[in-house]
Amino acid sequence: MKKELLKVSVRQHAVFISDEDMKNKTQVMSETTSVLLANASKLGFTFSEPLLHALNGVSPAYKVQVLEYLKMIAGVNKNWTPLVKGWNVPTGESVMDHILTFWSTIFKAKNGANLPCGHIIPENTFPLERYNGCPFCGTPFTFGKIEMTGQGSKLKVLDLWTMKEVAAFYSDLLTSKTALDATQVDSLKVLMQELPLPQVEIGMKETVMLVIDQYMSTKKGSKAQQYFQTPADILRYLWFKKTGFMQIIEPKTIIKKETKNNTHLHKGLDAGAKAKLKAIAALKLKYSRSECLTVASWLNNLELDVEKSCEIMHTKRGMWVRFIRALRLAEYSKRKGFEKLAELLDVFYNQIYTVWQGDVNRYRLRLDAEHTFALLKQRPGLFARSLFANMLWFGAEETVAHFKEVAHKVPARLLLTLNMYSKNYFDPNADRSVKTLGGTTKRIGPNQLLSMYEEEQLEAMKVLIEELCIAVMKERFAAVANPNKTIHIDPMLFKMPVSIGDRSDSIQDLPVALMGTRFPIEGNTVRLYMQWGKDLPAQHMDMDLSCQIAYSDKVEICSFSNLTATGCKHSGDIRSIPEKKGTAEYIEINTSLLRFAKAKYVTFTCNAYSNGSITPNLVVGWMNSANPMTISERTGVAYDPSCVQHEVRIVQNTAKGLVFGVLDVEANEIVWLEMTFGGQLVQGLDCKGVQAMLKKLTSKLNIGSLLAIKAEAQGLIVVEDATEADEVYNTKWAMNAAAVTQLLVD
């Protein structure tokens, strides 16, 4: 259990120490503790004073376990050898070198070097002494170890976690009022396996699916019934078990995505048709008798009215027809005790129900504001989601007046989302960034109705939304009794966005950061890295690390096709992975040269050039240090775990390309974001889409501003000294995004 809880704690900037070990106290620091501290600092970690004292009392075996886990997440046991030795100095290879090598291999030339991969490198072409593998096909042959550690100028401080902190974090995840990201989902799964489920009210539908799955895996399916409120909940769980997606992504979308991911630029390598057939076969539904009976019981025992159930099922009618057949629900509906199921199927198949959304659309098209708003008030959440469009359709004053009547019923996350994105939505010249259910981030243009309004009217709409949302949140905070008088808000919280929307699909094994967090650059060098293929058999698996440099009037690329660009150098293109070892690519970015060249942004990307999506467990990140970061002249290894500023591990299987950060050259900082895009090459990245995503993240409400609203509403005095405050909110507290969501008072 300790090892699993250790994984969860490190993600939250801490190390777990059991209550039993906490009883062992000693004043003199042991040699094993000193060695652990020294080795951890080489990896870029250090310990707070309370943690150091607690570690001094644990057994040497657990200290070894802590160190081994830190080594694992730091990647010291992975292969970090690039294709080129001393790749910061260009090799001078050219297109002609590739052409001559191709013909030499075809005609079996005798005046060249025969490589293990079968290619013959002619004389006076590639400087083979500079390569760790074949420069023609990108297959590595020689490998080196990490030579540099401890070059980092800033250590990650880990705090102490006991079972008390673990239990609090467990409860925060379950009660989170926003959807959990991939890291939080993975941590919650670990906690559910190791600890009993606490008696708390679960905050989100996606979180409910994980709890249900835990009950099902432990043969306690009967307890899952309490979490099913509508047929949509049942469908969500069934589809989650089938595909692994927390949201209901329709089969046609998954099939289309798989087909596109396996489409290749070279027709001879195109595997799109095969991937389509494979995806169709993988989505076929097949259930055992016991599983059919379980689902039939869930539907039969729903408390919701049959007609309302059918209306909810209507939005996914095609999927429900498939599930009804696969689960033999018609057969089970004939059994005694399943009368409600029989009625449900009868009403559903004969469509003896009305669809609420259809009525809304009908009245809306007739410009019947009275009936449209009367229907929207029945479902405040959907009213909130369509508020902006209705303001343009019916007029701002009338729409907002009706919305005010039900605003108190709208979840706080929706209210804050309206406040955050109104500035972008009502800008007729701004594109918006939207992440589809298929996983790809797309850029959409402004609403065409915006052109009908004057600039002053649109500005008035923004103000109207902001005033409404802040007023409602103040009312909610004021309604919460608070005996405290003073509050301390860390200034850094005004730079940290509230975690609403834009959830990350990748896992952060190192201490986590919220999407939109800005990392300052300490020196003049940023080093991107990508590692993939560990524990996999040798095969062609071409993942590409690239960056896009944006200027005011042009775009420049640094990738496998252009190893040297302004201020950027690439370590060489590896296209095949070695047996079980994995491999790596790097890009060195000189911020001084980019600033001199007047570059605006540098976008960090990784792509799957091979058929399929980005391989699971691929790791991308960047290094940054005020101290010089060296590159091995002997092997080209440039990885130093102590210099790593941020890193993510890919786990979702739908992305072909991923943006994992943007360097703001003028501000001299890196914005951590996650934006998926299609295409085998970085050239497929939409530059304006990245700008739209940045604008979306910039418009987000920060944690400090939300706390300021709370302080004003509850009459709290803001103090600068944390020791004098009744309530203290600092960066350590804010790292737990699930705990921050408790500010979203509903």
Q: Is residue 640 a contact partner of residue 146, using CB atoms and an 8 Å limit?
A: yes
Please tell me the predicted confidence (pLDDT) of residue 65.
94
Please tell me the predicted confidence (pLDDT) of residue 274.
92
DSSP sequence for 564-612? EETTEEE-----EE-TTEEEEEEEEEEHHHHHHTT--EEEEEEEE-SSS
Q: Is residue 475 a contact partner of residue 675, using CB atoms and an 8 Å limit?
A: no
DSSP sequence for 158-207? EEEE-HHHHHHHHHHHHH-SS---HHHHHHHHHHHHHSPPPS-----HHH
Please tell me the predicted confidence (pLDDT) of residue 378.
94
Strand partners, 158: 47
Please tell me the predicted confidence (pLDDT) of residue 679.
77
Q: Is 582 helix (H, G, I), strand (E, B) or coil?
A: strand
d(CA 167, CA 180): 17
d(CA 382, CA 164): 39
Give the residue among 516, 518, 420, 504 at the shortest CA–CA distance from 465. Answer: 420
Model-wide pTM > 0.85: yes
Q: What is the overall mean pLDDT for the chain? A: 90
d(CA 594, CA 612): 34
* H or E element in which residue 214 lies: helix 205-217
Q: Is residue 145 a contact partner of residue 637, using CB atoms and an 8 Å limit?
A: yes
List strands edge to edge, sheet with 45-47.
14-16, 156-161, 45-47
Please tell me the predicted confidence (pLDDT) of residue 563.
92
Low pLDDT (below 50) residues in the chain: none
Please tell me the predicted confidence (pLDDT) of residue 387.
94
Q: Is 691 helix (H, G, I), strand (E, B) or coil?
A: helix
Q: Is residue 105 a contact partner of residue 120, using CB atoms and an 8 Å limit?
A: yes
Measured torsion, CA atoms of residues 64, 67, 69, 75, in degrees rounded to the nearest 10: -140
Determine whether 451 is exposed, middle or buried from the number of CB atoms within 10 Å of its CB (0-12, 13-18, 19+): exposed
Please tell me the predicted confidence (pLDDT) of residue 438.
63
Q: Is residue 644 a contact partner of residue 162, using CB atoms and an 8 Å limit?
A: no
Q: What is the CA radius of gyration of the chain?
A: 28
Q: Is residue 85 a contact partner of residue 131, using CB atoms and an 8 Å limit?
A: yes
Which structure tokens are listed for 374? 């009367």
Handedness of CA 619, 620, 623, 629 (dihedral sign): positive
Determine whether 325 is exposed, middle or buried from the number of CB atoms within 10 Å of its CB (0-12, 13-18, 19+): exposed
For tokens 């802040």, the residue is 470
Amino acid in the structure at residue 233: D
Q: Give Dmax over CA atoms of the chain in angstroms.
A: 87
d(CA 623, CA 81): 16
d(CA 96, CA 86): 22
**Length of the chain as a residue count:** 746
Spacing of C-alpha 742 from chain mean position: 21
Q: Is 641 helix (H, G, I), strand (E, B) or coil?
A: helix
Q: Is residue 439 a contact partner of residue 654, using CB atoms and an 8 Å limit?
A: yes
Which structure tokens are listed for 229? 């409120």
Strands 717-718 and 486-489, sheet pairing = parallel
d(CA 386, CA 401): 14
For tokens 């706390």, the residue is 707
